[in-house]
Amino acid sequence: MATIIFYQKPGCATNARQIQALKSAGHDVVVQDILKEPWHADELRSFFRNMPVGSWFNRAAPRVKSGEVNLDSIDAASALALMVSDPLLIRRPLIDLDGIRCAGLDREPALSLLGHQTQEHLQGCLHQATRTRCPKMGSSE
């Protein structure tokens, strides 16, 4: 099977379920902390490919939920600058499979890794559904 670099937020229950699903599918998963990665705009941009700019963001990030970051009017350069300075804004997980990259499990190469079965329970934030807070790692999911 494949070796996958999986960028997650430590303590995120959703990311933990996603990692387990990939491992259950027979893949080797190398977990990286998305908050500690020294991101550069060009590198980060490669995960989003042809996705609309607003979908690059973690919609559960406090700055998005509060309306401070307006996903309807932000341009690519501004989005990347914000994400480099505040990685909590980055949609998770970021997946790298031999240089083929994506953000989220609902697109390639993640779809193929999971056999084209992206179950809803692997995408949504558990803490939002139960209205609980994520473990303290600097902020909520």
> Of 12, 102, 125, 134, which one is the catalytic site residue?
12
Catalytic residue check, 12: yes
The CATH code that applies to domain 3-130 is 3.40.30.10
pLDDT digits (tens, 9 = 90+) for 10-40: 999 999 999 998 998 899 999 999 999 999 9
- pLDDT tier for residue 116 given thresholds of 50, 70 and 90: low
Residue 4: in which H helix or E strand, if any? strand 3-8
Residue 88, CA distances (Å) to 6, 26, 33, 63, 109 in order: 15, 29, 11, 9, 23
Q: How much is the pLDDT for 107?
A: 75
Q: Say which residue, 24 or 131, is predicted with more confidence.
A: 24
In the chain, where the domains are located: 3-130
Q: What's the chain's average pLDDT?
A: 84
